[in-house]
């Protein structure tokens, strides 16, 4: 079970870096998948209510990730993950490292669970989050996963006024 403090930090990171995690897994037998590299492209959006301020406070995060194009995965051609949770954080502590569990539900109706760790950095006006892990159940079990999410860097002045309320950017998931 994921430590809630670690998960809260990872989700706070999601607030800035839009790292979304976890959607309910659907039970069912996993079919064999090609052993080729699988690569998915898509987007991730995160909303924060109320907005994130410098002063730490509780806020709700709603994350929606969509992989609209997957290549090399056989019948798997797209996927999605969603989550809603509440954490205590502020703009000053959103880039901490984290551990997380992400469940991606594929267009086939099957779901892959990824257990991993991540970190974020500011690069060229964006927050870039790297999440690496192993697929522990569902399609592609036992294979490695790497997700990179790039979101516009927040306007820090928002942390002083209404708060940071959301972000949308691009994401890539690679399964090896």
Q: Kindly state whether residue 61 falls inside one of the protein's structural domains.
A: yes
Q: Kindly state whether residue 29 falls inside one of the protein's structural domains.
A: no
**Whole-number percent of the chain with pLDDT over 90:** 43
Q: Kindly state whether residue 30 falls inside one of the protein's structural domains.
A: no
77-96 in b/e form (b: 16+ CB < 10 A) is ebbbbbbebebebbbeebbe
Q: What is the mean pLDDT of residues 72-100?
A: 84
The whole-chain average pLDDT of the chain stands at 80
Confidence class of residue 77 from pLDDT cuts 50, 70 and 90? very high
pLDDT tens for 88-107 read 888 776 666 778 899 999 99
What is the domain count for the chain? 1
- Determine the structural domain holding residue 88 and report its residue range: 4-24+35-175
């Amino acid at each position: 079970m994921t430590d809630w403090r670690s998960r809260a930090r990872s989700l706070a990171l999601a607030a800035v870096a839009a790292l979304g995690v976890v959607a309910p897994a659907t039970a069912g037998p996993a079919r064999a998948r090609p052993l080729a590299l699988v690569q998915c492209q898509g987007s991730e959006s995160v909303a924060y209510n109320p907005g994130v301020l410098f002063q730490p406070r509780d806020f709700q995060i709603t994350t929606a990730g969509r992989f609209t194009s997957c290549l090399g995965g056989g019948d798997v051609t797209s996927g999605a993950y969603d989550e809603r949770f509440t954490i205590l954080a502020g703009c000053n502590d959103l880039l901490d490292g984290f551990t997380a569990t992400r469940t991606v539900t594929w267009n086939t109706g099957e779901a892959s669970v990824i257990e991993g760790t991540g970190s974020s950095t500011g690069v060229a006006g964006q927050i870039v989050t790297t999440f690496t892990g192993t697929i522990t159940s569902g399609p592609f079990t036992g294979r490695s996963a790497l997700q990179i999410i790039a979101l516009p860097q927040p306007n820090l002045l928002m942390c002083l006024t209404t708060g940071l309320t959301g972000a949308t950017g691009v994401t890539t998931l690679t399964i090896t």
